[in-house]
Structure 1
């Protein structure tokens, strides 16, 4: 029986590789994170004083607004010089230099050897970013510096109006609201705890019903997910498979969430090693960030290979021919295109 199960798994994996049609395109890639320094002298001084340790800077999350792609670099290790950054996606270069957001004047920090934070710097460690439909950037700050989690401030959410580059609101989370060991992570409408292979959902109306959605099957652990509300497709990373999968929530009654109703968006043992964030923008493109986080935390990244990548692909093309494809009836016949607002 064990042999049969193994053979079936091998056949399914081979089918998944064959079934992938349009794949994600690699947009950007880095061996090490580099910043757009004000001057060579500033860079030299921050490296000399170990306020900037290049190998300790790891991109963790991303989101897009117009031509600006926001990239957060958390303070998992000491020596992170800018926690919130952006690049312009119109550039033809793949190895882009990160620009601190909104500017060096605001973002430049001074971390002492004991982990304390400069009084004039608001963000301690940006772990997630999200741009909403009202042109506001939400920044989730864990309040911790270093892998040993030195707490320098309360966990905080910052809300920035991107049209006028202004912080319009912030909210602190009291320590009493957090459990010991909590890392201040999101739970969205569809969510998973840590890297489990099960997905759950939380109904926001009317009674906040919590229920079990389904199981991704063996080795189906996931770390991040994103629900594209236009296509009703849930995208998520399959960490052990170096892949991005999808599930059509519109079909959840006829095709419940399980191993057989998931679609393979892309699978690659190099470019998709440990996908750490993914988002769908207003134009219907899926953006994916991979960063080899386990190696970064427990060992040391190879500075001679590409360690961080950002890939993207059009949703309608990525899910075409998969279990996630959604076809609707229109006057001209069946269509799988979605109208995304400008």
Structure 2
């Protein structure tokens, strides 16, 4: 259980019109927990801390710690990886505490043998093995001001001891001219040793895999990683600007399939399309590096429609995808029981003030977390942010409440992670299905707004799936029964009929 005294005591629905999201923290400008006030004033005097240059972009939650990342896009950012102890916060604008220490967040020397501290990190991930994964870009500045001080590297911390347990520097072959990596996804397999990190290279259009067990990395390429040339214009917070080079960015993992593998969902920023590839491809160095062998394993699953740009997204254990609809000042959702089409894209909440650029979304247990930071105003406007106004906000909401009343609602289990049912006894003509969805792309089909489904027939179902009064599943069963006419076991394996939503 998260220790959320501060959430319960301080969460409010402010007058700016949010219907569901509960605001937990807010800042006009972020500050840091310096050991003494004298040290804070010293840092300001020497331009080591310039509050106006600190823009939080990423969040993560582990037990009572709420992590917040601040990239070093300009001078005066004293710490890039920070946290808030939620059970000890006494204000809605708490100071950030460097993690794991002040020393670990000092800007390193340009000498690569001294690149042992954190330079700039964007989005981070805590895994089920109580490890915090941090990808350090090794850069300071942004755009034309970017300087590569240190190589791209992965830092992994033991959250129980706050000690770094591994640092891995990407191979030179993994990094291309123009590489910019901000997003990661963590894929824990059957054991903690069987873990992979995936990282999206937004501006050199690649997808990197790192194996914890093998302690090595490799790079994949595909045409789906590139931006859509027709969708490079954005309008956010009253600003019209162009991010036309922005390729693959947001990445997240689905729940496991029957074969134990997951699928990685991804999209370029300059796009309104969503794509997928099985982790069986990304985990295999030979497959991942070979465009010829793996090209048809990537599929387009659908489009979000007008104003469909997004950066960050995450899928929960029920197969609900949450994301930031940045053009709409909204947090969106998609239930993977449905086709990936505009009519099935729901709004969790939206607000033209509080949700200007909801930069990051995270699912922690059965709760959704969101941070908004007005990034386009900070980066693209001539005047910049008004630091007399609230600029940065962090929200949370139980997922059950987030999807209630939206097109994403359905017969879902929010108490425990949904089980992965192994093939069991076959029941002919029963036509009862678990709610577990699978996302295995199948070859030989032109990717076109398509998700293949493996339909599992099971003799038993949880009670919440067999109550027609409260569940739409009976109608769903009838639809699937018409689409999937027959089932047959094949030896000790199962044969699955494929269901194409375009039919």
Name the TM-score, length of structure 2 as normaliser: 0.58
Q: Deviations over 1:197-239 (max 9, x none)?
A: 11111211367621101111011111111111x2211101111
Q: Does residue 1:128 correspond to 2:123, yes or no?
A: yes
Shift of residue 121 of structure 1? 5.2
Instruction: Quote the residue 2:487 is aligned against.
Output: none
Quick one: which of 297, 310, 323 aligns to 1:236? 323
Of 189-198 and 27-36, the range deviating more from structure 2? 189-198
* 1:176 Cα deviation after fit: 3.4
* 2:298 corresponds to which of 210, 222, 229: 210
Distance 2:107 2:398 in 1: 41
* Distance in 2 separating the partners of 1:240 and 1:72: 23
Pair 1:172–1:116, CA change in 2 (3 A): closer
On the 8 A contact 1:128/1:141 being kept in 2, the answer is no
CA–CA separation in structure 2 for the residues paired with 1:50 and 1:21 = 37
Moved more, 299-308 or 197-206: 197-206
**Counterpart check, 1:262 vs 2:345:** yes
1:103 to 101, 104, 116: 101
Q: SS at 1:288's partner residue?
A: strand
Deviation at 1:117, TM superposition (A): 9.4
1:83 and 2:171 are equivalent in the alignment: no
Evaluate the alpha carbon distance shift between residue 172 and residue 185 of structure 1 in structure 2; reply closer, same or farther with a 3 A threshold. Answer: same
User: Unaligned 5+ residue runs, structure 2?
Assistant: 1-16, 184-250, 253-263, 282-286, 288-293, 413-460, 472-503
CA contact under 8 A between 2:26 and 2:393: conserved in structure 1?
yes
Q: How does 1:184-203 map to 2 (within 5 A)?
A: 184-186=181-183, 187-188=251-252, 189-203=264-278
Structure 1 segment 303-314 matched on structure 2, within 5 A: 303-314=387-398
Q: Distance in 1 between matches of 2:375 and 2:358?
A: 9
Moved more, 178-187 or 79-88: 178-187
Return the structure number with greater relative CO, CA threshold 8 A, min gap 6: 1
Matched, 1:152 2:236: no
Quick check: 1:22–1:317 contact (8 Å CA) kept in 2? no
- Structure 1 vs Structure 2 CA RMSD: 2.4
Alignment partner, residue 310 of structure 2: 222
Match of 1:59 among 47, 52, 56: 56
SS at match of 1:154: coil
Q: Which structure's CA Rg is the greater one?
A: 2
Report the equivalent of 2:359: 276
Q: What CA deviation, in whole Å up to 9, does each residue of 1:68-117 have, x standing for no partner?
A: 0011111111211011100022335211111111222433x2579xx889
Find out whether 1:315 has 2:399 as its counterpart. Answer: yes
1:289 aligned residue (359, 367, 371): 371
- Alignment correspondent of 2:166: 169
3-state SS of 1:42 partner: helix
Specify the SS of the correspondent of 1:157.
strand
